[in-house]
Structure 1
Amino acid sequence: MSEAVKTAVIYYSSTGNIHRLAEAAIAGAEKAGSQTRLRKIRELAPEAAISSNDAWKAHVEATTDVATAELEDLEWADVVIFGAPTRYGNVPSQFQQFIDTTGPLWSQGKLADKVYTAFTSSSTAHGGQESTLLSLYTTLFHWGGIVVPPGYTDPIQFQLGNPYGASHVATPGNFPGETELEAARYQARRAVEIAGSLKSGQAA
């Protein structure tokens, strides 16, 4: 019997929308039989900026028990699911800083041949969501990763309308609803199932 697929959901969230999608992705991966790790990317914003936004401050305080992402989490995983809000059509600086520390793993080939997928959130519909995911996927191609977007491979994707990854419009007080959460769960299940097929083929 082949070893269970290992999935790391690594995300950055300021006010909690991406965090909720990350939890849904964990649930989807576990439903597919995967071992999982939920990891948040270290907050780099100054305390004054965080304190000036009640939702941001509340989310930081509410997630102190979530472990911080480390390079070892990337090395451990067969599937890496990234979550990041959209900032001007790209990932935020906190997320990019984490990506910029991966050189030692990349140079040893330890990021290649893993399954990757990603999700995002923005304050307006299509407000850079697609370009954020595509920009991130460019990095994963550089690593030699196997990028697995959800595409339109499940009915939930036709409701969501974004084939690149689960996404959410983060207007004030509008947290991800069931459509967005189910899309994140489905995206994770799909990534785990494809990784499982790859592991089975390698073991044969």
Structure 2
Amino acid sequence: MSRVLVLYYSTYGHIETMANAVAEGARGTGATVDIKRVPETAPAEVAKNAHFKLDQQAPEARVDELESYDAIIIGAPTRYGRMPSQMASFLDQTGGLWARGALNGKVGGAFTSTATQHGGQETTLFSIITNLLHFGMTVVGLPYSFQGQMTMDEIVGCSPYGASTIAGGKGERRPSQLELDGARHQGELIAKTANKLFG
């Protein structure tokens, strides 16, 4: 079976929760799944004063590890409609992998979180997906096989470009069951695709 990396950055824990759901979906296919986070680049005092969630269990990833995976699923919250600098800084260090074509043909996907329904979920997903395409990866989103994203009965994240959650302006809202189901569904689809290609 394939090896899958769920690579994330989470400021307040919403993306950390989504990452665990993505990994759960991927593991259900028999794939070997690791969850790792990118390093925090904000000064320690800033992170502490802004109440960042600094006690996350996932180990920090290294750039040189990426090529050992068959699929990489990247999650990050939005910053003004794009990925945050922490994730961008990590991906900016992958020039050597790109130059060697080390990620060509691998499978990738993206997931995100925003404070509001219209806070840039899709543009943030595309800011991640752009990197995956430059790496030569095959991108798998969250198709309408996940019908939950069509609901009008509750506020919900998710789009065909990737799973997502809405955190609230003060981070008070946690990922809903439906949003977690979307994350699991996307993780499952990506791992199934990787299993077919590399399993």
Give a deviation string over 1:32-89, Cα, whole Å, max 9, x none: 11101110110010112112123x1xx20x21x4210112331111110000000011
AA paired with 2:75? G
Partner of 2:164: 167
Change (3 A) 1:108 1:190: same
Aligned mates of 2:87, 2:136 — CA distance in 1: 20
Instruction: Tell me the percent identity.
Output: 39
Question: Of Structure 1 and Structure 2, which has the larger fraction of its residues in helix?
Answer: 1
Aligned mates of 2:41, 2:198 — CA distance in 1: 36
Asked if the contact 1:8/1:73 (under 8 Å) is kept, the reply is no
Partner of 1:73: 65
Instruction: List gaps (5 residues or longer) in structure 1.
Output: none
Aligned mates of 1:139, 1:186 — CA distance in 2: 22
Partner of 2:185: 186
Partner of 1:39: 36
Partner SS for 2:162: coil
Asked if the contact 1:41/1:69 (under 8 Å) is kept, the reply is yes
Instruction: List gaps (5 residues or longer) in structure 2.
Output: 152-156
Task: Give the CA deviation at 1:161.
Answer: 4.9
Aligned mates of 2:41, 2:97 — CA distance in 1: 22
Task: Detail structure 1 runs of 4+ shifted over 4 Å in the superposition.
Answer: none
Asked if the contact 1:149/1:187 (under 8 Å) is kept, the reply is yes
* Structure 1 segment 84-99 matched on structure 2, within 5 A: 84-99=76-91
Do residues 18 (structure 1) and 18 (structure 2) align? no
Task: Give the CA deviation at 1:142.
Answer: 1.2
Aligned mates of 1:148, 1:66 — CA distance in 2: 24
Partner of 1:111: 103
Aligned mates of 1:43, 1:199 — CA distance in 2: 32
Asked if the contact 1:83/1:118 (under 8 Å) is kept, the reply is yes
Partner of 1:148: 140
Do residues 27 (structure 1) and 19 (structure 2) align? no
TM-score, structure 1 normalization = 0.90
Aligned mates of 1:104, 1:199 — CA distance in 2: 23
TM-score, structure 2 normalization = 0.92
